[in-house]
Amino acid sequence: MFGTSGIRGPIGETVTAELALSVGRAVGADAGTVVVARDVRDSGRALVDALAAGLVESGTDVVDLGVVATPTAARAVGRRNADAGAVVTASHNPPPDNGLKLWSPSGRAFGPERRETVADRITAESFDLAAWDAHGDRRSWDGAERAHRAALVDAGRREFAARDADPTDLSVVVDVGTGTGGVTADALSDLGVDVETLNARPDGRFPARPSEPTADACASLRRFVSATDADLGIAHDGDADRTMAVDDAGSFVPGDLLLATFATDVAGPGDRVAAPVDTSLVVDDALEAAGASLVRTRVGDVHVAERATEAGVVFGGEPSGAWIFPAETLCPDGPLAAVRLSALAAERPLSERVAGFDPYPIRRTNHRTDRTAAVVDAVREACAESGESVSTLDGVRVSRDDGWFLVRASGTQPLVRVTAEARDPAAADDLLATAEGLVTAAIERTGE
């Protein structure tokens, strides 16, 4: 039921109002107050109402934030002294999808145990509904975005001051992607930054570009940054838990290099940074040069956040664009990442920072299949028989002298993801070909 980032899938198939009602009942079984919110997808209207109905029916009070960014809602859980938060969102997935993600008061997404408890209650239909006169209340709160915006401005002032940088000298283009990330532009404007926006009108059909801020999706942002001589371009996904960037030269910054940029700014000697198994070796090398180290996790911000609670872990990130600053919050906060990156760019151009890293060729592809677990299991068996160095922390990661490849099931879509990296292009291509050969053979063996 739960993937790496909550529940997601096609509306009317995987995700229905009936499911949202059940999630509300299951979460409400041991919660006195729950914060709810949704992203801009129109299907969210029915889902958030069903979710709230399940909570109220369980005797739980509901604080409805309306349409806000996911990190805005995650931060509001603790701010409202609630026991949990539930956001109706499919994040970067395509428009026909929607989903639900659950949050704890710390800003961290529900971990495996809490997710399993919710799933078990739904499967068993084990709901403790309140008496007719003990239903919870549902009330709205329109202060969540103001509070988030104020926190972003406070963080921005600290970051700019620490670098002795003047925000009024900086120009930033924010591509909201027709999602909920407008709070980023507002906070930067409050700081005195010269801000231009793209695709700022909310529209859950995502007509301007795909919700996920990939290099291809950010083509208009790249052109706009170049044409206006802006210092930085920021791109969010639909619910603004992700942030990607375009540098002052108009070039899209790959996620691994953006991760290295954040990590080396935050981490010093003896510090640790949490990142998933598909992270490039360039991050390891950059942290080693700074006297810090990388700890690898399973893919998914919930796993990165879990390691970010450990002593000595000062930052967590995923190359997909989720950035966690545990000193402030355990949720991936795209607007916070945007503000911090703006301060970095004001101190020294992002293009210069990125040029300081020595990236290796990395290849990423996807294979669509409805039997992702079976395919990965088949690859695991094949690799185990080969005698190679294999890690099964998340999927199958094979390490060789010249690089590595990873085969893992997506936690949000019916895809098997393949990643390969080496220190020269030919070796990376060979590793990718080997991994894809294993996946293709596994798909054939599993009957598709």
Q: Give catalytic residues, as residue numbers.
A: 91
CA dihedral 91, 245, 185, 180 (to 10 degrees): -10
H or E element in which residue 67 lies: strand 61-67
Mention every residue, 6+ apart, whose C-beta is less than 8 A from residue 317: 258, 259, 262, 263, 273, 274, 275, 304, 323, 324
Mention every residue, 6+ apart, whose C-beta is less than 8 A from residue 344: 159, 163, 261, 265, 350, 353
- Amino acid letter, 131: A
Count of C-beta atoms within a 10 Å radius of residue 138:
16
> What is the full DSSP assignment across 145-156?
HHHHHHHHHHHH
Nearest Cα neighbor of 293 from 265, 273, 317, 322 is 273
Count of C-beta atoms within a 10 Å radius of residue 163:
14
First to last CA, the chain: 22
170: left (phi over 0), alpha (psi -120 to 50) or beta: beta
Q: Confirm if 84 and 101 have CB atoms less than 8 A apart.
A: no
What the block records as the tokens of 155 is 């963080």
